[in-house]
Amino acid sequence: MAYYTAQGAAMEVTGSCHHLKIGKIQILIDCGMFQGKDEELNYEEFGFDPKKIDYLILTHAHLDHIGRVPLLVKKGFNKKIICTKATYEIAKLMLANSANILQEKPKPLYNIGDVEPALKLFGAFLEYNETMTLKEGIKIGFKNAGHILGAASVKIKFKEENIKKSVVFSGDIGQEARIITSKVDFWKKANTVFIESTYGASLHENITLSTKKFKKHILQTLKNKGTVVIPSFALERTQEILFLLKQMSQKGLLQGIPVYLDSPLAINVTKVFGNYPRLFSKKVQKMIEAGENPFDFQELQTTYSKEESTQINKVNKPKIIIAGSGMCEGGRVKYHLVRHLSDSNSLILFIGYQVQGTLGRKIINHNGEITIAGQHLKIEAHIEQIDGFSAHADQKGLLKFIDNLKGLECVYLIHADEPKLEAFKEKIKETLHQKVHIVKRHESIYI
C-alpha cells in the first residue's frame, strides 16, 4: 500500500514537505521552511517521526524546499539525502546563510552548528534523465524542472501487488522561456502527479516585454540622477539580473554607473553557477565556451564585507544596488531601503514574488509610509514590480506539464493559496478533463 501525506505547501505557497509511505519504506520529498504569514508553522512538530524516514529527496535548493533540513536532522533523521550535485553545492550556501539569519530571531529553529551534520548526509547524487533504485525495488528518476540551477521534478516507480505504479512530484516548474537556464523537460507517463500551482490562476507577462521594462525603468531612474535598489533573491534571480545588466553594459548604457552586488550569498552562489555551464541555455553556454563570464561586466563591484557595503552610502551619484533578501526580510537590502525609500528620484524595483506578510509585499501595497528597523519612513521613491521574470511556470506552462503525462488517474494540486488552487482546478477540469483534487495539509491520500 502506498500513501501520501501533505506536511507543507498544501493550500499555502511555502513549507514544501511531502511524506510518502510505500509499504515499509518512508520517503520525504523536500523539507522546506514556511515563510511570510505562515512562518510560525516552522515551530510545529513534524507530522511524522524523522528517525523513520528512509530517504529525503530534494527537488531544488530554495529555502521553502530545503530550509528545515537541519531541523529534520536535529530531530533524528540520519539517512540518505538525494539531489542533483548543483542542488547540493547551492544548498551548502543557502543553509549556512539561513542559520545565520535565524540566529537573529527570538526562537532560532537551528544554528550554524546544526548545518554541518545535515550536509554530511548529502552525497547520493542523481542527475537529469538518470534513475536510482531504492529499497524494495522502488525506482526514482529526475528530469530538468527548468526552475533554477539543478532543480528537478521527481518520478517514483513502485509495485503494489505486482501492479506497476508511478507518481510524479513536480517540484517547482520553470517557464519555458527563461533568461539563463535550460528549458523544462517533461515526463510522458504517470498514474498520479502532485503539481505546484503557484501561478495556476494567471499568465505571466512575456519575458521579452519584462526585459524591456526592466531596462527602461533603470535607464529612466539613472537619467533622473537616482539610485536603483533591486531586492533580489541570491539564487537564480540575481544571476538573471547580472546577465541583463551585462547586456546593457556592452551597449554602453551603464558608463560611469557603479553597479553593486551587495550580498555575500549572491556572490558565492554566482561562483557556483560558473561550475555548471551545461545547465544553462544554449546562448549562455556559447558565451562560456568563448571564455566570457555571463555574470561579470566592467561596472560591476562586489561588496563582500560590511565595510565595503557601508561605503556604498558614500557614493553620491546615480548607482544600481542589488541586495538580498528578495522579499526584504533580511540581509543588507533593508539598509538601502531606509536610505532611498524617501528619495523621489530613486527606484525600488521588485522582480520576484512577494509572499503575503513580508516586508516586500508591504512596500508594494504601501499607503505612503512604512516602518523598517524601527525607523518610520515616508515612501517617496518609485515602486515598480515586474512579474515576467518569475522562475515559476504560469497557468499555460502548468497545463502543458500535466497534458504531457499520459495515464493519469488524478491530478493533485499543491504549493499555492486556496483561491489560486480553486481557479486552477476548474481550468484543468475544463481544458484537460482530468480528475483534480486540492490537497489539504496533513491529508492522507492513497495512491
Q: What is the pLDDT of residue 104?
A: 84
Of 385, 411, 431, which one is at a domain's C-terminal end? 385
| Together in a domain, 285 and 415 | no
Q: What is the pLDDT of residue 251?
A: 98
Q: Using 50, 70 and 90 to split pLDDT, how confident is the model at 177?
A: confident
In whole angstroms, give the CA distance from residue 388 to residue 66: 25
In whole angstroms, give the CA distance from residue 130 to residue 412: 25
Length of the chain: 447
| Together in a domain, 363 and 419 | no
User: Is the pLDDT confidence value at 117 over 90?
Assistant: yes
Do residues 388 and 209 touch, judged by C-beta distance below 8 A? yes
DSSP H or E segment with residue 327: none
Q: What is the pLDDT of residue 128?
A: 98
User: Is the pLDDT confidence value at 173 over 90?
Assistant: yes
In whole angstroms, give the CA distance from residue 447 to residue 443: 13
| Together in a domain, 27 and 130 | yes
Mean local confidence (pLDDT), 370-383: 94
Mean local confidence (pLDDT), 20-32: 98
Q: Using 50, 70 and 90 to split pLDDT, how confident is the model at 353?
A: confident
In whole angstroms, give the CA distance from residue 261 to residue 259: 7
Mean local confidence (pLDDT), 324-352: 93
| Together in a domain, 145 and 263 | no
Q: Using 50, 70 and 90 to split pLDDT, how confident is the model at 420?
A: very high
CATH classification at residue 131: 3.60.15.10
User: Is the pLDDT confidence value at 250 over 80?
Assistant: yes
Q: Using 50, 70 and 90 to split pLDDT, how confident is the model at 352?
A: confident
Nearest one of 396, 336, 1 to 184, comparing CA atoms: 396
Q: What is the pLDDT of residue 295?
A: 97
Q: What is the pLDDT of residue 375?
A: 92
Cβ density class 37-58: b for 16+ within 10 Å, e for less: ebbeebeeebebebeebbbbbb
| Together in a domain, 286 and 377 | yes
CATH classification at residue 346: 3.40.50.10890
| Together in a domain, 19 and 146 | yes
Give the chain's mean pLDDT. Answer: 96
User: Is the pLDDT confidence value at 427 over 90?
Assistant: yes
| Together in a domain, 40 and 109 | yes
Of 339, 368, 385, which one is at a domain's C-terminal end? 385
Sheet holding 80-83, edge to edge: 122-125, 80-83, 55-57, 25-31, 17-22, 2-8, 444-446
| Together in a domain, 157 and 252 | no
Its pTM stands at 0.94
| Together in a domain, 152 and 16 | yes
Mean pLDDT lowest among 21-30, 97-106, 229-238, 419-428? 97-106
| Together in a domain, 192 and 282 | no
Residue span of the structural domain in which 421 resides = 2-203+390-446
Q: What is the pLDDT of residue 355?
A: 77
